[in-house]
Structure 1
Amino acid sequence: MTHRPRRRHTVNTPPRTESHPLLLSGKQVTINHGTYSATVATVGASLRTLTHEGRALVTPFPADSIRPSFHGGVLVPWPNRLADGIYTDGSTTHRVPVTEPDRNNALHGLSCWVDWQVSEISAASATLSTTIAPQPGYPHAVAVFATFSLSDNGLEWVVDAHNVGDTTAPYGVGIHPYLQPQTDSPLDQWTITIPANRVLETTPDRLLPIRLHPVQEFENGIYDFRTARPIGSTRMDHAFTAVTTGRVTVHGPESRGVQLEWDPEVLPWAQLFTSDFGHPDFTRNGLAVEPVSCPPDAFNSGEDVVRLHPGATHRAVWTLQAL
């Protein structure tokens, strides 16, 4: 899927960013519209906060901290796990850095720890950009733009990737927000809807793909959330597909909620993770909902990998909204 890249203009108004000393999550860019407010940290182009009428819709993290567990990050040029950090493209085998050493995987691409540049900003919108330079393991040049825009309908989050090199690049994309319908209730009490018919079984030690199953048949249907029901004690770090509607909803016990929408034609997979970290500040206090363009280890299986040709652009769009 290709699009003509949008023309981009750098505005003269200085961006509203914090500086000196540099915070651990980078510069902070705040946008507002009506009852919505969001803060984006430049390291990883990460959605650090999103609120509606003062209520958090995503699990926040402190600005002066190293972002935990990919909170709010943009995942390019691949989301999820790449086994051993090794893949073959054509006749060439490539090796990228292993960033999940306990499982020996390369996790969530190459841009999560890059300090992105603020290239455009207005009161209700900001665009951050970076270029993935040709490098060992990924010898391609891809310019990436992440745009965050607030409106009455919530937050629209757009990621455009433009191949500025002369080689065809394998490419995948995702985002990593942790949804939080209300802060004063545990995840076990939240009710979720996942309109997906199939779930991916993975190896227990490395979370690498084994096979797809109908959600109602795998593990006695514990991952079947096609009809809204409480999460309860379910522990989840699974990829779902065969998505009927690109929309995950999460409600707290007081019926307040948040939803994440996307186009399943562009993003046919969604990874969901119940944040079972064992960390006192970030254990089961947010539901990671990661609509992505391809499944785990896609650079090896080839499944749903985008072939981004020289000059081509790929666009993915997500919308976060209070319920």
Structure 2
Amino acid sequence: MTQTEVLRAGDAELHVALLGATPLRWLVPHGGAPWDLLDGYRDDAELEDQNGVRNGIMAPFCNRVADARYSFDGAEHDLAPGATDRTVYHGLVRTLPFEVVERTDAARTGVDTGDERASLRLRCTALADSPAVGYPFAVVVEVTYTLGPRTLAVEITGHNVGDVAAPYASGWHPYFRLPGTARVDDLDLDVPASVGVRTDDALLPLPGADAFADVDAPAWHPLGDAVLDAAFGGLDPALPTVVRDPAGTRLVLRQDRGLVHVFTGDTLGRDRRASLAVEPVEVMTDAFNRPDQAAAIRLEPGERRSFGFVVELEPVPA
């Protein structure tokens, strides 16, 4: 049985598996009953299988690495030596063990009960303890979850404890379900982006400047039969990415940097298009192979870098 930790703040709950620091459930009161905002793994078998990477923490890379190979500081690395299937994606820590290093149970931070917060900090030392295939870099990854009555803040930190620089980036791969909707078709989506990432048929960004297209805050009202597996950058930090159900309930994602990747779940092993992946990512797909991302992924010896974001369920306006 996979070990889990449960955070509570007010009537909200967050269930997190220590394997991969993977959120399994995020329960928020809605309409007088708890609603699970996450379409997570239902059992240990699904968690082990990793189909769809449901709610997975992505580190030390986001999304795909082309042909499972990359070069860093003049050395070539292969993440899947001898494999026929060269598809590698969504990092390494999602299948590695984490340990609890700090926990703070809910306490009111003000007069209003809505100020209650609980937090959980988890650490994975596996990459530092033993070199991973194709990733011989000593990076410790920490994930901190801070739960409020209607909010979830996530911070992912990479700490290079080795003697050489390391390529590193992080992100989160959540699948969201809003109350009263059985399919993503009925949802509205607004992305405060000015750049769309153009990809080839393998979902890898095109070379150089061809990867970037100007967009004007793309929106779908509703998503309908749109099939999306795409990233957007040039985000306006003053505006959130917003998912809205037909009743007007809003799920908002706030991040001050990075990109957001949107996936309508059309290739999932179960319950296709039943939930919408809205993924905050630090860098674009295949950043390990892109000269224009070299500075963004470089983590010097001793350096720590964090990537954080906040998700909130907003009730229907009165």
Normalising to structure 1: TM-score of the pair? 0.82
Aligned to 1:238: 230
| Partners of 1:60 and 1:135 in 2: CA distance | 27
Is residue 2:44 matched to residue 1:64?
A: yes
Is 1:248–1:260's contact at 8 Å kept on the other side of the alignment? yes
| Partners of 1:126 and 1:301 in 2: CA distance | 34
Q: Superposed, which structure 2 residues align to 1:145-164 within 5 Å?
A: 145-152=142-149, 154-164=151-161
**2:192 counterpart (173, 189, 195):** 195
Is 1:126–1:149's contact at 8 Å kept on the other side of the alignment? yes
AA partner of residue 78 (structure 1): F
Aligned to 1:212: 212
| Partners of 2:4 and 2:198 in 1: CA distance | 38
Question: In the superposition, relative to structure 1, how do residues 109 and 303 fare at CA in structure 2: closer, same or farther (>3 Å)?
Answer: farther
- What percent identity do the matched residue pairs reach? 29
AA partner of residue 215 (structure 1): V
How far residue 127 of structure 1 moved from its aligned partner, in angstroms, is 1.6
| Partners of 1:195 and 1:315 in 2: CA distance | 22
Aligned to 2:102: 120
| Partners of 1:74 and 1:302 in 2: CA distance | 25
How far residue 231 of structure 1 moved from its aligned partner, in angstroms, is 0.8
Look up the SS of the partner of 1:230 in the other structure: coil
How far residue 152 of structure 1 moved from its aligned partner, in angstroms, is 4.2
Is residue 2:295 matched to residue 1:317?
A: no
| Partners of 2:180 and 2:39 in 1: CA distance | 8
Look up the SS of the partner of 2:121 in the other structure: strand
| Partners of 2:36 and 2:307 in 1: CA distance | 24
How far residue 61 of structure 1 moved from its aligned partner, in angstroms, is 2.7
Aligned to 1:7: none
Is residue 2:205 matched to residue 1:229?
A: no
Aligned to 2:138: 141
Aligned to 1:296: 285
**2:264 counterpart (274, 280, 286):** 274
Q: Structure 2, unaligned stretches of length 5 or more?
A: 106-117
Question: In the superposition, relative to structure 1, how do residues 257 and 43 fare at CA in structure 2: closer, same or farther (>3 Å)?
Answer: same
Is 2:52–2:268's contact at 8 Å kept on the other side of the alignment? no
Question: In the superposition, relative to structure 1, how do residues 257 and 56 fare at CA in structure 2: closer, same or farther (>3 Å)?
Answer: farther
Cα offsets for 1:2-34 (capped at 9, x unmatched):
xxxxxxxxxxxxxxxxxxxx2xxx211110101
Is 1:56–1:183's contact at 8 Å kept on the other side of the alignment? no
Root-mean-square deviation (Å): 2.1
Aligned to 1:13: none
Question: In the superposition, relative to structure 1, how do residues 31 and 240 fare at CA in structure 2: closer, same or farther (>3 Å)?
Answer: same
Instruction: State how many pairs are aligned.
Output: 285
How far residue 299 of structure 1 moved from its aligned partner, in angstroms, is 0.5
Cα offsets for 1:92-148 (capped at 9, x unmatched):
1111128x976x332011111112222222322212110223334222101111111
Structure holding more helix per residue: 2
Cα offsets for 1:30-50 (capped at 9, x unmatched):
101013211111121111111
Question: In the superposition, relative to structure 1, how do residues 209 and 52 fare at CA in structure 2: closer, same or farther (>3 Å)?
Answer: same
Question: In the superposition, relative to structure 1, how do residues 101 and 119 fare at CA in structure 2: closer, same or farther (>3 Å)?
Answer: farther
Is 1:78–1:172's contact at 8 Å kept on the other side of the alignment? yes
Aligned to 2:92: 110
Aligned to 2:64: 81
Aligned to 2:108: none
Is 2:155–2:309's contact at 8 Å kept on the other side of the alignment? yes
Is 2:28–2:149's contact at 8 Å kept on the other side of the alignment? no
| Partners of 1:243 and 1:275 in 2: CA distance | 23
Is 2:101–2:123's contact at 8 Å kept on the other side of the alignment? yes
Aligned to 2:255: 262
Is residue 2:228 matched to residue 1:248?
A: no
How far residue 283 of structure 1 moved from its aligned partner, in angstroms, is 0.5
| Partners of 2:5 and 2:263 in 1: CA distance | 27
Normalising to structure 2: TM-score of the pair? 0.84
Q: Structure 1, unaligned stretches of length 5 or more?
A: 1-21, 217-222
Cα offsets for 1:207-227 (capped at 9, x unmatched):
1112221236xxxxxx922xx
